[in-house]
A and B are shown apart, each in its own frame.
Chain A
């Protein structure tokens, strides 16, 4: 530990060896040869004090810090020498105190800086920990959200699969029910025919008795109905296969105008009265697509348009237009039919959503259509107003 600035400085601290070497000979010369310095306890710093020497105290504050001694000097000369020493020592003590205090305050400032620094380091570490914790928490929450989103998506998927299955069950069960009932009735009718063999009397009489005229006629109806039922099941399965893209056809270069015409000709086969087509087809570049699926897509949309007009109970027009720009092919299919409400538009693309009575619509038309469009990186959108009509807009990108 160094001495503090405000301790009481001893003479040997103020006058080190080098200063004594400079002052001693000089004062010795001035004071007639003999000169010595002692400290307040009588220890000699310079020279060889003798008992008979004249003595002058050196006082800096209150008490002597040492003495000047000379055998040869006059009293006045020794006092003059002492005054000279006072000047020297006062300058020295001021310098020593100031420099020591300066060191102390620098050390103190440095200590405060170190304390400040330590506090900053600590707070920085705290913030680092905090930020790491925050990051981890954010990561965990993002993970949780992702997981929940995935779960929601799965649930949604399950729900739509369930919806699909329920719709399927309903649509297939219905024809299945009456086909089964028809077949069991037909089995009974065959029993009647078998009875003919063992029936007494003439064939014509037995035929009459067993009412086989009616049975024959009804059997034909039954089988006809059953065939129609089977056909409906087959159509549902075909729709479903297209919807799920099960039977992938090979891709071909195709002109979509050609597909549109093909689809229209299929719809025209079962056209209700009062519906007309109008075409506004501009030349299109051929694109790579699955023509079977595209045909199905156009068929579904055009059939919807025709049915919408039929539902309106008045004559109407289906307008089909196509054009190409740099981005791709735009196709619009517009009808002047019943139109759709906002709620219907919202659900239009959901599988098995239908406004038609059970048995006449499955509700897969637009869902399938959207699937096909998306498989071709395209877009499909609906614009409709109740009692005014509906426009379906389709877009297929062309490769640049």
Chain B
């Protein structure tokens, strides 16, 4: 459930996935691509070899017609297996998750293990994995060793989550991923938070505000 008071509503969105699948790159590109009313700097905590040690954070925000300030705080988790405790702490209280998988065929095992750890950790931090807003992004689709899109689509056909094929380095698919996620987030919370009824926010207006583009 998002944190809220009379003037604020904060959604916590978490980019989860195996090590070096491109979670931080997603955040950096979003920072460049999006132009919402309010946009903070990307706060990164990298070790010297560019691996995320704790998390990265990108704050975004816009004001609803009612005057309510809607904030998005995008976090990434550290992908390395050793940091599971940190991953769990970052994941807790999330309102939406992007699972960034590595499309490289050699990474299939790592993807599987990471996805399993996402499901396990959701259960441990009290998130309902079945109903969690989630988008699955297959990054690095341009790699020569990447699994073809048709094969991935076939494999995930039974899963309820939208799939996005991305090349985060040049920004391809990054915005789409974010948009699909906040659409699901909107549908999950519209009723509970009276986004439409009390704050005059339609789904498209919500998305437009977050992306900083006219609906």
Contacts and interface: CB of A to CB of B under 8 A. Distances in A.
Chains A and B bind each other: yes
Interface of A: 4-8, 59-63, 90, 93-94, 97-98, 101-102, 104-106, 108-109, 112
A106 B71 CA distance: 29
Contacts of B38: 62-63
A358 B55 CA distance: 106
Contacts of A62: 38-40, 59-61, 69, 71
Contacts of B89: 4-5, 101, 104-105, 108
B93 interface: yes
Nearest to B7: A63
Given A6-B12, A98-B45, A102-B54, A108 B93 contact: no
A108 B85 contact: yes
Interface in B40-85: 40, 43, 45, 53-55, 57, 59-61, 69, 71, 73, 75, 83-85
B90 to A, nearest CB: 7
Contacts of A4: 89, 92-93
Contact of A63 (B45, B69, B86, B90): B69
B10 A8 contact: yes
27 contacts: A4-B89, A6-B75, A6-B93, A8-B10, A59-B40, A61-B40, A61-B59, A61-B73, A62-B40, A62-B69, A63-B38, A63-B69, A94-B43, A97-B55, A98-B45, A98-B53, A101-B54, A101-B55, A101-B89, A102-B54, A102-B86, A104-B89, A105-B89, A106-B85, A108-B85, A109-B84, A112-B85
B54 A6 contact: no
A105 B85 contact: yes
A60 B57 CA distance: 12
B88 interface: yes
A34 to B, nearest CB: 30
A218 B71 CA distance: 141
A108 B54 contact: no
Interface in B75-132: 75, 83-86, 88-90, 92-93
A90 B55 contact: no
A94 B71 contact: no
Nearest to B86: A105
Contacts of B92: 4
Contacts of A109: 84-85
A6 B83 contact: no
A59 B83 CA distance: 30
Contacts of B3: 7
A94 B55 CA distance: 10
B74 to A, nearest CB: 11
B75 A108 contact: no
Contacts of B12: 6
Given A6-B75, A62-B59, A62-B71, A108 B90 contact: no
Contacts of B60: 62
B88 A108 contact: yes
Which of B3, B45, B86 has the most CB atoms of chain A within a 10 A radius of its CB? B86
A92 B61 CA distance: 23
A73 to B, nearest CB: 25
Nearest to A59: B40
B43 A90 contact: yes
Given A109-B85, A112-B85, A6 B43 contact: no
Contacts of A93: 43
Query: Which one of A104, A105, A109 has the greatest number of beta carbons of chain B within 10 Å?
Result: A105
